[in-house]
Structure 1
């Protein structure tokens, strides 16, 4: 199936690229850009058809994310996380889906998954209080997905829950002042004793077992894919797109650059520059091929009704963190090969270098932890932690 949403987004990319500096300085994606992406249907790619969505394979979202991130990494990052949330909401109870989309099918949702708040059980649900950080795109969103812990009973460990909370129950506190991904507006969400009805809480136990109450009404196979792949691939594809944008900018600039210190040699004629570009391109393309392959393979399993083997799930997470690592390696080579120009403010190489490194510190990009999970799986050692 062709990705007509990508066809609608491509004409928007020059303007998104032009607004990249504005996004950095405003510390959020311009509202105009969000409106354009909404009009193009980007944020409905993973939304159920029952609510006017397109119910498409996550691969279609990832393709859009890479191209948007190539133009503006911050905008690509927000596109990735806000764009992937409809998939998770589709696993919640139908009543929660109605809360979000029945009256406002274009509602956008941000997130902050670290369980930093306090949850108390009450009749019919929970009371929630606390502060959550790094909620990308939160200024543009009407809802938030927030991580929290339900205390265990009789000595049992706490259970991780994702709580779905409306904008009327929280405030967005402007604290985002960072060196990379400055334009993502990843501000804090603050709640003072909000009620969360039980239907707006989704258990990690169900999530890890690839099930959820929403599957009763959303029967498309995409809603049986692992959260560990669907969400993590949104993050890494934004970083891969960041590398693709740096690569394109680097090649265009180096075609004309002359090294006066080397007797006026054109960089385009430098064999060492040729090697660096080849290595960078290889790293980026290897990342894309591995990511796309894993999405395709897991999709085949769920479409056939088969269980996704643990090794396939672990390999997907392995390739996800390696995709981030490869993208960073590519950008480092391009940055070094760009000379003094690469450290000047407001140029693509400098911005993409900063933004890719900022994206790499997201918890989902813990390379050693993900690789260790894969290694334990290969040796038959039980895996009792981690998301895959």
Structure 2
């Protein structure tokens, strides 16, 4: 499952040494450098999930995750942002054609940030919504031309209900209608610039709202025009996998750094011997590498399986979606634990500010905090379903 041939991946590989060199600058800036955004655009990675009608690849989805993990080996923050900007074109492709025209008709390289948690709402009015709120943790918002902001639809001060549940979805809002509050100052993923997006009583027309219910039942208007199979992939696989894959790439990067460092390191406990000859060092590399590689095989395997199901003209079952969601959070857990093993045995030199291993350690733990990577709720949801109960199937 590890090697895919594509011109974008070739260009990504050539960029990795540059991203590795810029990793500390990225952290210090608290945002992705402008030149890195230019370089990512040049590789084509941000267009992998963009529809062909707008100049994108509409590619097999496993390709974008492979690119994300490679970039995350070099810089965790850049990998995270690649995921954000690389997957949002898939979401926009599900919107009404008029919304796509407003974004990509004006700029086919437009970047879209998001914050899906309901930190604001849209008041239903004639022709659309009046949207207000302050959406925190919107990664890459400083660079974004548009924002996808989650929230309920309100009418007369109360939530609008669909089948007894509040109507909830994403409002698509241009940069001219939001401001950025620069509050991001963290110990991990510091370079993602995940600041707060503020919207104050902005009108959003109906065609720039997409309900999560429509995405769940397959009635998204965009698929009538964007008929490529990738746009039939489940939302609950596409987005969560995009938030685990950077952690996996960080674990692969940490392994490479650990092996290289231990290759040259001398330990006082082994007089006249190098750390690479310490059986506890070699055991860690072997044991932890199995978890990292298994995580990628599971993530990529589920993506490929679901995509092949769609190519065969079939629906992806709830069981298959739950399997993918279960292994998505498991991959995050495994890879954070793997980095912990490397960090705790790397020696005091790895603690120095500016060293890549401690930065990947911090970035991975910051990524683990994201709600989509919260494993316990997903395991419980999976278990309840297997016992015949009817859990709230969140993000599947």
Length-normalised TM-score, structure 1: 0.98
Secondary structure at the aligned position of 1:263 is classed as: coil
Match of 1:143 in 2: 146
Distance in 2 (CA, whole Å) between partners of 1:341 and 1:325 is 26
Match of 2:40 in 1: 37
* Residue 140 of structure 2 is aligned to residue 132 of structure 1: no
Distance in 2 (CA, whole Å) between partners of 1:139 and 1:5 is 25
Q: Is the 8 A contact 1:279 1:330 kept in 2?
A: no
The Cα shift of 1:250 comes to: 0.6
Match of 1:257 in 2: 265
Distance in 2 (CA, whole Å) between partners of 1:354 and 1:386 is 28
The Cα shift of 1:154 comes to: 7.5
Residue correspondence of structure 1 range 142-291 to structure 2 within 5 A: 142-151=145-154, 152-153=159-160, 156-291=164-299
Secondary structure at the aligned position of 2:259 is classed as: helix
**CA RMSD of the aligned region, Å?**
1.2
Moved segments of 4+, more than 6 Å: none
Deviates further, 2-11 or 286-295: 2-11
Distance in 2 (CA, whole Å) between partners of 1:114 and 1:387 is 12
* Residue 27 of structure 2 is aligned to residue 19 of structure 1: no
* Residue 76 of structure 2 is aligned to residue 73 of structure 1: yes
Q: Is the 8 A contact 1:89 1:97 kept in 2?
A: yes
Q: Is the 8 A contact 2:160 2:167 kept in 1?
A: no
Distance in 2 (CA, whole Å) between partners of 1:153 and 1:140 is 33
Number of equivalenced pairs: 388
The Cα shift of 1:383 comes to: 2.4
Match of 2:102 in 1: 99
Distance in 1 (CA, whole Å) between partners of 2:230 and 2:160 is 34
The Cα shift of 1:158 comes to: 1.8
Match of 1:306 in 2: 314
Query: CA offsets per residue over residues 72-115 of structure 1, 9 Å max, x none?
Result: 00000000111100001000001111111012001010000111
Q: Which runs of 5+ in 2 are unaligned?
A: none
The Cα shift of 1:142 comes to: 0.2
Query: CA offsets per residue over residues 327-372 of structure 1, 9 Å max, x none?
Result: 0111011111201122111111100000000000111011011111
Query: CA offsets per residue over residues 270-305 of structure 1, 9 Å max, x none?
Result: 111111011111110010000011001101111111
Q: Is the 8 A contact 2:46 2:86 kept in 1?
A: yes
Length-normalised TM-score, structure 2: 0.96
